[in-house]
Amino acid sequence: MKIRGVEVDFNFLDADDVERFEKEAEKVQYECKQKEKIEMSTSQIIREECKIINNFFDNVFGEGVSLEIFKGKSNLEEHIKAFEDIVKEKIEKQKDLQNTFDRYQPNREQRRYNQYHKGRK
């Protein structure tokens, strides 16, 4: 999978990868809320928010990935955009997975009908 041109070893259909993603995404939300409670200058807020997102990328996709993606910059707009992109990707993969489940797992009524009418013409 590629994130802003950086190849990472990650699959949204791998349970371990998704679990790590979900845990770290919750952590981002929690840490951002905690930082809101602290009085800081604008530059400090930007650096702290970028640091939180850097940690997310490093913890989910591998140490040093955030440095490759953001080139050491603390541009909050770029960080938020990258985070939003990866969350959107997860949502799309979940939709695809649900569609696959829906195609290959008939509902209970259909299974009952098939079982009852098995062998009848």
pLDDT value for 11: 92
pLDDT at 33 over 60: yes
* Three-class DSSP category at 2: strand
* Three-class DSSP category at 55: helix
Kindly state the helix (H) or strand (E) to which residue 7 belongs, with its residue range: strand 6-7
> Of how many residues is the chain composed?
121
Query: Degrees (nearest 5) of the Cα angle 54, 55, 57?
Result: 65
What is the pTM (predicted TM-score) of this model?
A: 0.80
pLDDT in tens, 37-93: 899 999 999 999 999 999 999 999 999 999 999 999 999 999 999 999 999 999 999
Q: Which two tokens stand for residue 46?
A: 């930007």
- Round to whole Å and give the CA distance between 108 and 96: 21
pLDDT value for 54: 98
